[in-house]
Structure 1
Amino acid sequence: MQVVSIGSCLVQPAEPTWNGPMPLTEFDQSGYLAHVRTIYFYRPSETWLTQKKTIYRTVRNSLSRILVHFYPLAGRLRWLNGARLVLECNGKGVQLIEAEVDADLDDILGDLTPSPDLRLLSPPINYKYPIEETPLVFVQLTYFKCGGIALSFSISDAVVDGQSALHFVSEWANLSRGDSLRNPPFLDRKLLRAGDPPSAKPRFEHKQFDTPPLLLGESSCENESNKETVDAMMKLTKIQVEKLKNEANRTSPYIYNDRVFTRYEAIAAHIWRCACRARGHLYEQPTGLAVCVDIRNRVQPPLPRKYFGNAIVDVIATGCSGDLVTRPLGYAASRIREAINEVSNDFVHSSLDYLKNLKDFSGVQDIHPTNTNQGPFYGNPNLGVISWMTLPVYSLDFGWGKEIYMIPGTHASDGDSMILPGHDGDGSVVVALCLQADRMDDFKKFFYQDI
C-alpha cells in the first residue's frame, strides 16, 4: 500500500485565544508523553464522494473553529529544568495532512485484522524534532480509490488522557455537522496539583514510579523490547463477557467487600492469565499488570465532569505467573481489584506529592512510542490493560455519516492492550492487543479456549 501526501498545513484557531504558559500537573508530565493514534473509516454518501475538497474544507474549517474552545491543543510543549514541561498556549496550530492511497477501503479493512499498513494512514511523527516545534495534534485525511476516507487523530498524551481526547474529537464533530458546542472543556488544571510545598514523605508506596519493572530473568528489558510485535483485535460477545464475569465471581472467597468483580476486572484478569501462558513463563515468574484508574470521581471534591487534561493514575497489580494460571479466574481479578482499591483521594494526592518531590522527571517518562528502554516498560513479563468501555468512542459523524470502523491507538509496544465496547452496542467488547509476534497465536488460542 502506498500513501501519498497531497497537502499539509497548520490549522490555527479561527479567533484570537489566550496566550501564555499553562502549568501542567505532575500527572501530565509523567508516563507516556508521545502521541496516541486513532483512525476512523467512513463511506460518505454519493453527494460527498464527488466533492473531495468539500470534505477537506469541512475538516479544516471545523478544526479551526473547535480550537477556539480547546486552544491548549494549538500550543506547544516546552522543557523546563529537571525534565519538567510547561504548555505554551501560543496558537501555533495543529498539523493537517491530506493524502491519497492506491487501494480501496475494502482492501484495507479486509477481515478487520490490524495490518502494519494501517499505520501509514496516520502521519509519521519525528520525535528527534525539538518538542517546542512539534504540534500536539496531527490529523490526516486520506482518500481511498473507492471514495471512502480515513480520518486519523494523533494527540499528545502529555496534554490529555483518553476521555479528554474523545471530548475534543466529539465536540469537533458536532461543530463540523453544524451543531453548537455542547460541553465546553474545563481548562483550569490547578485542581489537580501537588501541595506547595509538597509533603516531604508521601503517605503511600508508589511502586508505579519507584520500582523497576519486573524482568524476565535478565538485568534489563532490552532483549525483550527489541523483539518483533504484532497487533490483534479480538471480539468477545456479550455472552462470553458475562461468562467471564460469572466465572470470576463464582470464586467468592476472592471477592472484596461483597462487591462483585466488574467486566473490566474479569476481562483484564483473563488477558493477564492468557499472556502468562502464551509467554511460557515459569511458575515462579513475577508479573505485573498496569491499570489506568480514572480519578475524576475519586478525589474530593470531584473534578468537573469535563476536566481537560490527564486525570488518571497508574497502579500495578502483581502476582506469580504460576498462581495466576493455576488458580481460578477470581484470583487474578482479586489482584487487580486490590490495586484499584488503593486509589483514594489520599493516594492521589500522595502520588502528586511524590512526583513533585522528584528532582528529575526523566525516570518516570516515556517520550518516544518505540523507545521502551526509557521510562516504564510493560512488555514481557508485564502488560497494561486500558479500558475505554464506558467512553464515547463511536458514532463520530462529521457531516458525512457515522464511521463504519474504528481502530484504537495503542502504544504499539509488547503488552499494550485496550478493551473497547463493541461497535454495534450489543454488549460485546473488543480487545486490542500488541504482543510479541511469536506469542500471538498461542495467546489467541488460550483467549478463546478458556471461555
Structure 2
Amino acid sequence: MAVTFKVTRQKPELIPPAKPTTHEFKPLSDIDDQESLRFQLPLIWFFRRNPSMEGKDPIDVIRQALAKTLVFYYPFAGRLREFVGRKLVVECTGEGVMFIEADADATLEQLGNPLIPPFPCLEELLYNVPGSDGVVNCPLLLMQVTRLKCGGFILAIRLNHTMSDGPGFALFMSALAEIAHGSDTLSIQPVWERHLLDARDPPCVSCKHHEFEIVPNTKGTLIPPQDIVQRSFFFGPAEISALRRRLPLRLQTCTSFEVITACLWRCRTIAISPSPQENVKLLINVNVRGKGFNMKLPTGYYGNAFAYPAAVSSVEELVSKPLEYAVELVMRAKSMMSEEYIKSVADLMVTRGRPHFNVEGTYLVSDNRHVGFEDVDFGWGKAVYGGVAKGGIGEIPIVSFYIPVENIKGEKELVVPICLPDNAMKTFVKEIEAIFKVDDDK
C-alpha cells in the first residue's frame, strides 16, 4: 500500500553566508559544465530521534551551520551565469542557498523498512520552489529539513550537479556536519582550482569517446520518462558470491562492482528488448581523484572529477554470451580511464559545444559506495539512509547509482535503483530472480 502523509512547509528563505564574502566570478571547469551535468540532483538523509539531543531543533542546528559553512564554500551562495561558448561561471553574489523548514505527520517507521529509493512523497520532502530549479541564475542548492512525529527528521537537498560530484559534495556535507558539532574551522579546507580540469590550449581530442558518439536514432532504445517505474535491487555477499560462481577462474579476481555491473547491463538489455543487430553502450562513472591517476587534484577539490568511459557491444553478443563476456567489457572500459582520457574529454567539450553523452541504447552506472554520504552526522547519529533520492538523472531514466546500506543483521549491502517501463521491469525482475534461483537449486 502506498504511504501518504501531510507535510506542512514554512515560506522558503534564502540563507546567505554568516559573514560577508568576496564578490568575484569563478569559472567552472570544462568537465563541470558539460551538458550531461546541467541538471539538479536530489539527495536525501533520514535521521532517527536521539534522546541525547532533546530540546535541540535540527532545523535551527542545520540552518545556523549552513550559514557558517557558506563562509568557506561561498560559491554555493552565488549564481551561475552563461558566457560565450556556453561557458558557465559562478558569480559569487552571496545571495544564499534556498532553505525550507517543514513538518510531517509521519514517523520514520511509516516511511519504509528498509529505507531505500523510491521514497514515498519525495516531492513533498524536497519541494520545488517555483522558479528555483534552473541551471543558471538560480540557487545552486535547495535544502528542506522536515521534522517527523517520532522526533527524527529528514534532510533533502537538490544540488546543481555542475558544482560538484558525489565525492566533492561529500566534502561540503562533512563541513556542514563539523560546524553543526560546534567547530569554527574545517579539517579539510575547500579548494576551487577548477582550471586543473580545463581543456588544453590548443585542445586535442586524443582518445576515442564512444560515450559522445553521434549515432542515428534507433528504434526501441529510448525510454519515454512517463512510462517509467522504479524499483531497487539488493546485492549482498550471497548475491555477489553467486555471480562470481558463474565466472571462470581467470576472472575470479574481478571486483564486485564489475560483476554486478555486467549482470545489470545484461539483464537490462534483455528487458528492453532492442534489435539484436543494434549496439548498446554501458557508461561507467570513473572518478580520477586519488593515487591511481596523475591529476594532482588537491584534497579539498569539490568540483566534478570524473568521466564516462564506455563499453560497447551488439545486443546479440551481450545477451547470448555468458556473463564473463560482459565482465571483460566492463573491466576494459574502466581501464580506459587515465589522465590523458579525462583531458581528452575536456578538449572534446570545448571543440564540440559541451555536448551531452549519447543516451541512445545507453545505460550508465555510478558507484557511490565510497562517497560517505551515509556517515553524515549533525549530532543525532549517522543517517539511517544517506545518498541519492532516486534513480535516473533529470528526465533521463538510464542511470543507476550504487548505494551502500546496512541490512537488519548489520551487514553491508549494495542497493541499486533501476528505472524501466513497467513491462520491461517485470522481465528484468524475472531475469535477476532466475540467476539466483538457478544458483540456489544447485
2:198 aligned with 1:193, yes or no? Answer: yes
**Structure 1 residues 151-186: Cα deviation after superposition (integer angstroms, max 9, x where no partner):** 111111011111101111122112112245221122
* Residue in structure 2 matching 1:10, options 5, 11, 14: 14
| Aligned ranges 1:21-170 → 2 under 5 Å | 21-30=25-34, 31-46=36-51, 48=53, 51=56, 54-110=57-113, 112=115, 114-124=118-128, 126=130, 131-170=135-174
Is contact 1:12–1:94 with CA below 8 Å preserved after alignment?
Answer: yes
Q: Which residue type is aligned with residue 242 of structure 1?
A: S
2:288 alignment partner AA: I
Query: What is the TM-score when the length of structure 2 is the normalising length?
Result: 0.88
Cα displacement (A) at 1:447: 1.9
Residues 406 and 299 of structure 1: is their aligned pair in 2 closer, same or farther, counting only changes over 3 Å?
Answer: closer
Structure 2 residue runs without a partner (length 5+): 437-442
List aligned pairs for 1:8-407, cutoff 5 A.
8-30=12-34, 31-46=36-51, 48=53, 51=56, 54-110=57-113, 112=115, 114-124=118-128, 126=130, 131-179=135-183, 180-199=185-204, 202-212=205-215, 215-217=218-220, 221=222, 224-248=223-247, 250=248, 252=250, 260-297=253-290, 299-358=293-352, 360-361=353-354, 364-365=355-356, 376-377=358-359, 381-406=361-386
For residues 73-114 of structure 1, the C-alpha deviation after alignment (integer angstroms, 9 at most, x for no partner) is 111100112322111122111111011223332222255462
Distance of aligned partners of 1:137 and 1:300 in 2 relative to their CA distance in 1, 3 Å threshold: same
1:349 deviates by: 1.7
User: Aligned runs of 1:410-421 on 2, under 5 Å?
Assistant: 410=391, 411=393, 413-421=396-404
Q: Percent identity at matched positions? A: 28
Q: Which moved more, 1:321-330 or 1:154-163?
A: 321-330
Classify the secondary structure of the residue corresponding to 1:154.
strand
Structure 2 Cα separation of the partners of residues 226 and 153 of structure 1:
22
Check conservation: 2:406, 2:412, Cα contact below 8 A: no
Residue 368 of structure 1 is matched in structure 2 by none
> In the aligned structure 1, how far is the partner of 2:27 from the partner of 2:44?
30
Deviation, structure 1 residue 4: 2.4
SS of corresponding position for 2:49: coil
Deviations 1:249-270 (A, max 9, x none): x263xx5xxx932211111111
Q: Is the 8 A contact 1:316 1:339 kept in 2?
A: yes
Contact kept, 8 Å, 2:374 with 2:387, in 1: the verdict is no
1:50-76 per-residue CA deviation (whole Å, 9 max, x = no partner) reads: 55xx32211111011111111121111
TM-score by length of 1: 0.86
Deviates more, 1:75-84 or 1:38-47: 38-47
Q: Conserved in 2, the CA contact under 8 Å of 1:394 and 1:403? A: yes
Show structure 1 runs of 5+ residues with no match.
366-374
Distance in structure 2 (CA, Å) of the matches to 1:376 and 1:284: 18
User: Superposition RMSD on alpha carbons, in Å?
Assistant: 2.5
Q: What is the deviation of 1:246? A: 4.8
Letter in 2 for 1:82: G
Q: 2:369 touches 2:402 (CA, 8 Å); kept in 1?
A: yes
Structure 2: distance between partners of 1:344 and 1:430: 28
Q: Which range moves more in the overlay, 68-77 or 317-326?
A: 317-326
Number of residue pairs the alignment of both structures matches: 423
Is 1:434 matched up with 2:433? no
Q: Secondary structure of 1:4's partner?
A: strand
Structure 2 residue aligned with 1:369: none
